[in-house]
Amino acid sequence: MNRALVPLVVSDLIEGRPVRWVPTNRLVGDYDGRERTLQIFNADPRDQRRLLDEIDKQRGPLEEAAGGPLVIIFHSVKQSTERYADFVRYFVRPRGIEMPRAVALSPETCVDAEDEGGPHRRPSAVAA
């Protein structure tokens, strides 16, 4: 796992809540772990203990990727809505989904198509 992946993995652990590294221009104060500070949004106080327990299950690999112990800042739903609405609204958490293999042509058996209007690849004559 690399550092860029940490927020996405944490988000996965806590039911898809938006997560990010604190942007460097928003870091306040000088403390150990500044660069390892994660913001977690839509996390009300009553949920925070449970969310930390979920994060703890993967804390080892997460902290290895982060380069040291994580510092976590929770933001309640109200605070997330009032102060971080843009980030929360536009947060995207990619997740793998199943797709029928037949829909995704195998590159090993296809060639590019002449028609530039698409589709742009077709099974090769050899494969067909």
Partner 1 sequence: MYLTAQHVRSRAGEDDYQSYLHLHNFPGSEAFPKDPLTVPQSHPGLMVSKRLRLKPGGNGVLSYLDIVAHDAWWTQACPPGSSSSTEWWRQTLEPIGDLMEGKSVPWTVEAGEVFVIFNAGALMSHVSEYKDLLGVALGLWDEWRARSAGR
Measuring CA to CA, which residue among 96, 98, 121 is closest to residue 108? 121
Q: Give me the least distance between CB of 46 and partner 1, in Å please.
A: 28
60-64: long-range pairs with CB below 8 Å, 24+: 61/1, 62/1, 62/6, 62/9, 62/10, 63/36, 64/1
Contact pattern for partner 1 over residues 41 through 80, marking x by CB under 8 A: ----------------------------------------
Q: x/- contact string, 78-117, with partner 1 (CB under 8 A)?
A: --------xx-xx-xxxxxxxx-x-xxxxxx-xxxxx-xx
Nearer to partner 1, 30 or 108 (CB): 108
